[in-house]
Amino acid sequence: MKKIVLLFAAALFVVGTAIGQSKQNESSVTISYGSDNNDVTVTQDLDGDEYNESDVDIIGDSNGNDVDVNQDGEDMNSDVSITDNSNGNEVMVDQYEDGNDSDVDIDNHSNGNGVFVLQDGDDNESDVSIANYSNGNGVYVEQLGDDNNSDVDIANGSSGNGVGTGQYGDGNESDVSIYNDSDGNGVLTIQVGDDNESSVDIYNDSNGNGVETYQDGDDNDSDVEIGNSSNGNYVQTYQEDYNHESDVLIYEHSDGNVIMVGQEGNYSTSDVEVSYGSDGNFIDVDQKK
């Protein structure tokens, strides 16, 4: 009898271990210093409310690597890190279902990298960070569903980067921040649906950046801020349908910026403020029914 009980307990342990492994998978891939032209593919696919985690690290001076992460299920997490002086890498993250999280970090002096994130579902979050003095990187984030969040940060002295975010659904939020001394960056945000919010911040001494925001739906909000001594930036905001709010703020000693706001529909408000010592700015607000 004692042997039967022990065998039964052992069987339960094996079954429990198998169940635990099927519900929580972890994958870690590291490409070390000076490693080029590698292909990394991670696929995690489980049904129901599961938890999978993928971690890919491309460490300094590693160039031309391709990373493809595909996760299908709920509560997934993907982390991709490209560290110092790593150039020309391409990262693609696809996540399907709800409650997923994607983090992509590009470290200092990393140039010409491409980041593409697709999230299809609700309550997902995407964070992309480009660190100091990283130039010519391209970032595109697309989210399909409701209550999703996208956050893109371009740190100090990073120029010529392109950022595009597209959110299609309700209750979504997009935040793009370009920090000090970053020039010639382009930002395009598109939101289609209701109760969405877009925020773009260009910090001090950042010149020649272009920002376009487009919102189609009701009760959407767009905020654009240009920091001190930032010149020659172009901001265009267009909102269609009802109950929109657009706010554009240009801080002190910022010259030659172009601000264009278009709102089509009823019950919308536009607020543009140019702080002291800012010269030669062009502002055009067009509201029509």
What count of Cα atoms within 13 Å lies in the side-chain half-sphere of residue 151? 11
Q: What is the pLDDT, as a whole number, of residue 165?
A: 97
Instruction: Please write down the HEC assignment for all residues of 211-228.
Output: EEEEEECCCCEEEEEECC
> pLDDT tens, 224-257?
998 899 999 999 999 999 999 999 998 999 999 9
> pLDDT tens, 70-80?
999 889 999 99
Q: How far apart are CA 230 and CA 50, in angstroms?
A: 46
Residue 50: pLDDT band (50, 70, 90) is: low
Q: What is the mean pLDDT of residues 117-124?
A: 97
Q: How far apart are CA 132 and CA 97, in angstroms?
A: 33
User: What are phi and psi for residue 270, nearest 5 degrees?
Assistant: -130, 130
| Tokens linked to 278 | 């800012």
Query: Mean pLDDT across the chain, nearest whole number?
Result: 88
**How does DSSP classify residue 279?**
-
> pLDDT tens, 184-232?
999 999 999 999 999 999 899 989 999 999 999 999 999 999 889 999 9
* Residues 156, 260, 144, 75, Cα dihedral to 10°: 30
